[in-house]
Amino acid sequence: MKTINYFLLLASLLLAGSANAQDWPNLERYHNANAKLKDSTMKVVYMGDSITDFWFYNDSTFFQKNHYADRGISAQTSPQMLLRFRQDVISLHPKAVVILCCTNDIAGNTGPMTQEMSADNIRSMAELARANHIKVILCSVLPSNHFGWRPDLQPADSIISLNAWIKSYAEENHFGFVDYYDALVDAQRGFKKEYSQDGVHPNLAGYKIMEPLAQAAIKNAL
C-alpha cells in the first residue's frame, strides 16, 4: 500500500468541497456510489470525517473483504454528518453503523461548537439508526494535542471530556463503543508518532491498530 501524503490529500478534498459550497453536507460525494450499493451485501457503514475518509485510501481491502462501506468526508463536522445520515447510512440498509466524529467540531471547522452541540448531533444520528433497526457503534475521538490547521487550539482536554461523554452515552443506551483513544495516545495526550504523520490522522500502522478494535465491536453488536 503506497504512503498517503495527508496534506496533499486533505487540500484536494477541501478544494473539492469549496467548489460545491451550496451542497453544505456534500450529499453529492457518495450519491452515485450509494445507488450502486442499495442491492449489495454491504453489512456496515463507517460514518465519519477525514479519519474515516483516509481509512479507505490507506486500506481499501479492509472494507472490501468485510463488505463495509466507507462514508467519511474530509473536514466535516457532526452537523454535516447528521444532514447526510439518511442518504449515506439509512438508505443503504446496513446491519450496523460505526460513527466516528467530532475532531472537526473541536477545531471549529464550521464555526464554534460546544460539547453539548456535538453530543446532540451524535444522539440524533444514533436515534435515527436505532429507529431504522441499525445497530449503533460509537467511537472515541482519536487523541491529539494539536491541530495543524488550528495552531491556536489545545484540543487534548476537549477530546478527553467528549470521549467520557460518548462512552457513558453508549453504555446507557446499550450501543457499541470503540476506544481508539487509549490504543493510540502517548504520554503527552497526543497521537503516538509511530501511528500518525501529522498528529491527527492515522497512518496505515495506526489503522491496523484500529481495525481489530472496530471488528470486535461489530461482532459483538451483530
User: 132 lies in a domain?
Assistant: yes
User: 182 lies in a domain?
Assistant: yes
SS3 20: coil
User: 14 lies in a domain?
Assistant: no
pTM of this prediction? Answer: 0.90
State how far the Cα of 75 lies from the Cα of 59, in Å rounded to an integer: 20
- One-letter amino acid for residue 190 of the chain: G
- Per-residue model confidence (pLDDT) at position 40: 74
Q: Give tens-digit pLDDT for 136-178.
A: 999 999 999 999 999 999 999 999 999 999 999 999 999 999 9
| Burial (0-12, 13-18, 19+ Cβ within 10 Å), 208 | middle
Using alpha carbons, select from 49, 152, 133, 125 the residue that is nearest to residue 95: 133
- Our count of domains for the chain comes to 1
SS3 137: strand
Where in the sequence is the domain holding 170, given as residue range(s)? 41-221
- What mean pLDDT is predicted for residues 179-183? 98
Is the pLDDT at 19 greater than 60? The verdict is no
Whether residue 148 contacts residue 104, with contact meaning beta carbons closer than 8 Å, is answered with no
User: 2 lies in a domain?
Assistant: no
User: 28 lies in a domain?
Assistant: no
User: 171 lies in a domain?
Assistant: yes
Q: Using a CB cutoff of 8 Å and minimum separation of 24, what contacts does 130-136 make? A: 130/173, 132/90, 134/89, 134/90, 134/94, 134/95, 134/96, 134/97, 135/95, 135/96, 135/97, 135/176, 135/221, 135/222, 136/96, 136/97, 136/99, 136/170, 136/173, 136/175, 136/176, 136/221
- Per-residue model confidence (pLDDT) at position 104: 98
Q: What is the CATH number of the domain that holds 127?
A: 3.40.50.1110
User: 200 lies in a domain?
Assistant: yes
Q: Give tens-digit pLDDT for 111-131.
A: 999 999 999 999 999 999 999
- Name the average pLDDT for the chain: 92
User: 8 lies in a domain?
Assistant: no
